[in-house]
Structure 1
Amino acid sequence: MALTAKNKLTFVDNTCLPPKLDDLLYGAWNRCNSMVISWILTSVSREIADSLMYIPTASEIWIDLRDRFHQSNAPRIFQIKKLLTGLHQGSMDINAYYTKLRTLWDELKDFQHVSVCNYGSMKDWANYQNQECVMQFLMGLNESYAQIRAQILMMDPIPVISKIFALVVQEEKQRSIHKDIIGSSVNLYTDQHSLTQQSSVVAAAKGNQYGKENQYIKENSSERPTCSHCHLKGHTIDKCYKVHGYPVGHSKYKQQQWNSGR
């Protein structure tokens, strides 16, 4: 990628051959060749760079590195397919789970050889690849998405994987909204229940206070003074009407009420 961005890939794939020494472009080619060699030497370990110092062209260095470190893609393909088989959503959200799958799919696709298109065969191959991706994505989902998974499997034809991903993400968002509504209802009920308990505690405290006040009144009522003459409570002998006479204007009924009550 870096060589392509700098327009220097031709110096390593041997398509930009060195001009003759007396060519006017030889100086420019030599400078570019040296620059690409310096990039390669700073991109490898010190031990490998020491073994490449005396190779004159960047293309020869590139061929040497390829022959030395080229390996078969079969072990990596096996590793990717094993990861795809064991990958499940688990605690990940839909976006993180799909991103991991997509990364492995793209890397595996890079290792696969694409055949030449003959009378629409590439369309069938693309449909097969899409179906494989959809099945792997649905198999790794948690069981809580069993309903949306069944709905997708009943579609004919099966949509592309990007459409499947959008449907499952929409289901995840709806569940999140529903969960927030339930959480708000639970919090409201908890707050109301807490207020009810607080009101009960306050009422009980007030009841205990009133009870103590009534008990105090009852206890203090037994300490009211008693007249030694008429033996009635509420006054003493120095204020007893039976000794000193009733007040002027009292009716006979009030005198009888006084005699019977006070």
Structure 2
Amino acid sequence: MSKKILVSLALLMAVMLIINRKEAMSQEHDNKTVSVKQEQTKEVSNNKGASNQSIDTTSDNEQTTSTDKKFLEQVDLSRYDLILVNDSHAFSDEQLPAVTGIIDSNYQVHADLVTPYQKMKEAAAADGISLRVVSTYRSVSYQEQVYEQSISDNINAGMSQQEAEEETAVYVAEPGKSEHHTGLAIDLVDQLWLDAGKGLVPEFIETAAGKWIDEHCAEFGFIIRFPKGKEEITNINYEPWHIRYVGVENAKYITGNQLTLEEFVELVEKIQKEKN
């Protein structure tokens, strides 16, 4: 074979090698392009799924809001068990219904809460909690005695007249402004707390009974009337022992949405005004 032929063959092989390499590089580039496009398509698909999921969540929230609104539109604020008594809404003895009931042998209450209270007491007993009533209905005249006695006790404890009145105002409602006038309120602790000689103090929530009442009272139509963190609204310090009957559905809504009775009444009035 001549030298010229050998050189020609070598050149031909080199050219073929270059062509093959270019084709390989081109194929690799195409594969990468396809891969990138697939990832982009997958990402777009996932984003669409996330977008759809977000829409579904919004739809659920709208449905919940609609359900709440429908419930609030049907609340009857004229019902006696939703009567609001506080610094701005005084109560007179003439407003008390003639029909009353008795719980725990000798405590007078509004008739509507007798059965719910008994059921709650039985449920607590099943969980090892022995509920005991401390106070229920108090007339306006009796509240005057309670209020004056509290001031007197504070003075005897070393407070000035002004200090005694201010301290009493924190924990004792003025006559005519106490929920106990309605027969719908109960001061409730348990037998262990009473046996220990302890009074109505916030530390009651640290007991098994205090926690049980807080977690379960709404199931029977009661709310913690003066919840923690809402003092600026109720103008009464946190009282984990003071429960108020408002009916099961109302109690569950109020408790579930962490409202006070004041906030609930205001919300109902707003929703019903918008409807009309």
Superposition TM-score, scaled by structure 2 size? 0.31
Superposition TM-score, scaled by structure 1 size? 0.33
Larger radius of gyration: 1
* Structure with higher RCO (Cα < 8 A, 6+ apart): 2
Query: Is the helix fraction higher in 1 or 2?
Result: 1
